[in-house]
Amino acid sequence: MSTQTVLAIWGTGSLAQRYLDIENTGISVDYFIDSSKTGEFAGKPVLSPEQVVEHGITHIVICSTYVDDIAPVCLRQGFDIEQLSVVLPRTLERIPFEQFSHVEGAFYYYLPWTKQIPAIEHSLSSDIVFPDVYKEIAKSVAYVYVSSVEGDFAEFGTCTGYTASLIAYAMKYYSEFFVHHETMHNMTPRELCLFDSFQGFPASTKAPDLDSPHVASGAWGEGTAKGLNAQQLKQLCSQFIAPERINIYEGWYKDTLTTIDANKRFAFVHLDCDLYESTYDVLYHLFSNNLLSEGAKLLFDNWYCNKASRHFGEQKAWHEICEQFDIEYTNIGMYACVGHKMIIHSYRKK
Ligand SMILES: C[S@@+](CC[C@H](N)C(=O)[O-])C[C@H]1O[C@@H](n2cnc3c(N)ncnc32)[C@H](O)[C@@H]1O
C-alpha cells in the first residue's frame, strides 16, 4: 500500500522563496510551517509548529538557517530522520537530514566536503567565502603530503570545529591517497594539534587590538567566538582520524604553547585566532622554539580583516615576527576573501 506524500516546507522567508523559485521540478508543497506567521505563503496554508501533527505531514523540508532549533522540534513530534531534509542556503541543494552530523549538546552541521573533496577543484565555486576557505585548507593539507613536508598539523582557533574537522577529514583522505609516498619518505603518522581557550576571545590588552575596528566594534570582544568544548571538538574530529592522533591544548595560548613537546615540528599551521596579541604569541613561540619545518605552510584566516591594515591583527603580528627571525618565505597570496598564505623556507634560530 503506497502512502501519499504530504510535504511541508518549514520556513516562509527568503530561503523558502529562493528554493521555490528554483525548484519548479515537480515538488508539490502542501503546507508551510512557521512559528511567527499565519495565513498563506505561495498560495498554501501556513501552519504553526503545534499544528504539524494534525495534518498528516510525511516529509518536512527545512528552509531556514535555524536547523538546530527546528530539527529537534520535528524529532520530538515523532518524525523520523528520513522524513526530514534541509535546504543549504548558498547552493539551495536539498540534503537528507540523515547526512547531517550532530555534536552532543551542541548543534547539527553538514560537512559538504565529505563528498566534494575528491573532486574539489570541480565542485567548489571560488567566489563563495566558506567553500573557498575549505578548498584552500584541503589543498594545503594535500601540499604537505605531496611535498613531504615533515611534521604535524596545528590549528590555533577552533571555535565551531568547522575548519578543524576539515583538516582532520583532509588528513584522512590524503594520508590514504599518498600512503606509499609517506612510507617512501619515512613519515610517521601525523597528528592534529588543536589549540583554543574554549572560552572565546580573551580580553584585548594591547594597543594594536584595542585600536582595531573589529575589537572596537565588539566583534572580537572578550568571550565572543566561543564554540564547541574540547570534548565535542575531539568527538567531531575523531570521525576522521584516530582520537590518539588528536591533541587538544585547552587554555590560553600563553599557557598551552609552553607545553608543546620540544621535538615537535609542524608542517601546517592554520592561524585563526584573529587578534594581534594571540597571533603574535603563537608565531613567537613557534619560531623561537624552531617548531616549524622547512616548507611549512602557514594559513592566516583573517589577514585582510580590519580594512586590510598592516597595523592590526594577524598582519601586524607577522610583520613584527618577520623582523625578529629573518624569515625567508614565499608569499603565496590571498585566498577566500580575507585569508593569506605563506610557505616558510628558513628562519634564524634563537
Ligand atoms: C574565529 S574563531 C576560530 C574559528 C574556527 N576556525 C572555526 O572553524 O569555527 C577564533 C578562536 O580563537 C580562539 N582564541 C583567540 N585568542 C586566543 C588565545 N589567546 N588563547 C586561546 N584561544 C584563543 C577563540 O577562543 C576562538 O575560538
The model's pLDDT over 325-339, given as tens digits with 9 standing for 90+, comes to 999 999 999 988 899
Please check whether residue 89 lies inside any domain of the structure: yes
Taking the CA of residue 278 as reference, the ligand 1 atom at the shortest distance is: 19
Instruction: Give a yes or no: residue 84 inside a domain.
Output: yes
User: Confidence band (pLDDT; 50, 70, 90) for 340?
Assistant: very high
pLDDT band at 165 (very low <50, low <70, confident <90, very high): confident
What is the rounded distance in angstroms from the CA atom of residue 43 to the CA atom of residue 63?
Answer: 17
Which is the closest atom of ligand 1 to the Cα of 162?
8
Ligand 1, residues 201, 204, 269: which to mutate, most atoms within 8 A of Cβ? 201
Q: What is the pLDDT of residue 107?
A: 54
Q: How far, rounded to the nearest angstrom, does the alpha carbon of residue 146 sit from its chain's CA centroid?
A: 23
Q: Determine the residue of 133, 192, 196 to mutate for testing ligand 1's pocket, defined as the one with the most ligand atoms within 8 A of the Cβ atom.
A: 196
My answer on whether 38 and 151 are in the same domain is no
* Amino acid 24: pLDDT: 65
- Whether residue 120 sits in one domain with residue 92: no
Q: What is the mean pLDDT of residues 67-75?
A: 88
Q: Evaluate whether residue 297 is within a structural domain.
A: yes
Position 100 confidence tier, pLDDT thresholds 50, 70, 90: confident
Asked if the model's pLDDT at residue 71 lies above 60, the reply is yes
In this prediction, residue 121 has a pLDDT band, given cuts at 50, 70 and 90, of: very low
H helix runs in the chain, sequence order: 14-22, 67-76, 113-116, 120-123, 129-146, 162-177, 179-184, 207-210, 213-216, 230-237, 253-256, 276-288, 313-325
The domain of 88 spans 7-99
Same domain, 90 and 128: no
Tell me the pLDDT tens digit for each residue of 168-227.
Answer: 988 988 898 889 889 999 999 999 999 999 999 999 999 999 999 999 999 999 999 888
Q: What is the mean pLDDT of residues 57-72?
A: 90
**Same structural domain for residues 335 and 208?**
yes
In single-letter form, the type of residue at position 109 comes to: Y
Residue 266 has pLDDT above 90, yes or no: yes
Please tell me whether residues 93 and 146 are part of one structural domain: no
Interval 156-165 mean pLDDT: 88
Write down the pLDDT at residue 173. 84
Task: Please check the confidence at residue 146 and state whether its pLDDT lies above 70.
Answer: yes
Q: Is residue 157 part of a domain?
A: yes
User: Which pLDDT band holds residue 128 (cuts at 50, 70, 90)?
Assistant: very low
Task: For residue 248, give the CATH number of its domain.
Answer: 3.40.50.150
Domain co-membership, 150 together with 286: yes
Half-sphere exposure of 339 (CA within 13 A, CB side): 22
Q: Where residue 139 falls among pLDDT bands split at 50, 70, 90?
A: confident
104 falls within a domain? no
| Residue 244 in this model has a pLDDT that exceeds 50 | yes
Indicate whether 128 and 225 sit together in one domain. yes
**What is the structure's pLDDT at 2?**
53
HSE (side-chain half, CA atoms, 13 Å) at 128: 10
Q: What whole-number percentage of the chain has pLDDT above 70?
A: 89
Cα(269) to centroid of ligand 1, in Å? 14
196 and 68 both lie in a single domain:
no
Q: What is the helix (H) or strand (E) element at residue 294, kind and residue range?
A: strand 292-300
Residues 245 and 338 in one domain: yes
Same domain, 122 and 164: yes
Dihedral-angle region of residue 336 (phi above 0 means left; psi in -120 to 50 means alpha; beta otherwise)? left
For a mutational test of ligand 1's pocket, the pick from 113, 153, 158, 279, i.e. the residue with the most ligand atoms closer than 8 A to its C-beta, is: 158
Beta bridge partners of 59: 7
State whether the beta carbon of 173 lies less than 6 angstroms from ligand 1. no
Q: At 72, which CATH number?
A: 3.40.50.720
The size of the chain, in residues, is 350
Count of domains forming the chain: 2
Asked whether residue 105 is assigned to any structural domain, the reply reads: no
Instruction: Work out which ligand 1 atom sits closest to the CA atom of 273.
Output: 12
Residue 31 located in a structural domain: yes
58 Cβ contact partners less than 8 Å away, ≥ 6 residues apart: 3, 4, 5, 6, 7, 83
| Closest residue CA from atom 13 of ligand 1 | 157
* DSSP one-letter string for 93-148: -EEEGGG-EE-TTS-EE--THHHHGGGHHHH--TTSHHHHHHHHHHHHHHHHHHTT
The whole-number pLDDT of residue 56 equals 92
Smallest Cα–Cα separation from 86: which of 112, 60, 111? Answer: 60
Which of 45, 75, 99 lies at the terminal end of a domain, its last residue? 99
Backbone angles phi, psi at 63, to 5 degrees: -115, 65
Query: In terms of pLDDT, which residue wins out, 154 or 185?
Result: 154
Are 232 and 103 in contact by the 8 Å Cβ rule? The answer is: yes
Confidence of residue 260 (pLDDT cuts 50, 70, 90): very high
Last residue of a domain, one of 99, 133, 151: 99
Query: pLDDT tens for residues 108-120?
Result: 656 554 444 333 3
The finding on whether 158 has its CB within 6 A of some atom of ligand 1 is yes
- The answer to the question of residue 325 being in a domain is yes
Domain-ending residue, one of 35, 66, 99: 99
Is 23's pLDDT higher than 60? yes
Distance between first and last Cα of the chain: 77
Do 311 and 208 lie in one domain? The reply is yes
- Arithmetic mean of pLDDT, 95-108: 68
Question: Tell me, what's the pLDDT at 98?
Answer: 83
Supply the mean pLDDT for the chain: 88
- When pLDDT is averaged across residues 89-115 and rounded to a whole number, the result is 66
Q: Are residues 175 and 86 in the same domain?
A: no
267 touches ligand 1 (CB under 6 Å)? no
Helix (H, G, I), strand (E, B) or coil at 248: strand
Confidence check: pLDDT of 324 > 60? yes
**34-to-7, 11, 39 alpha-carbon distances in Å:** 14, 5, 10
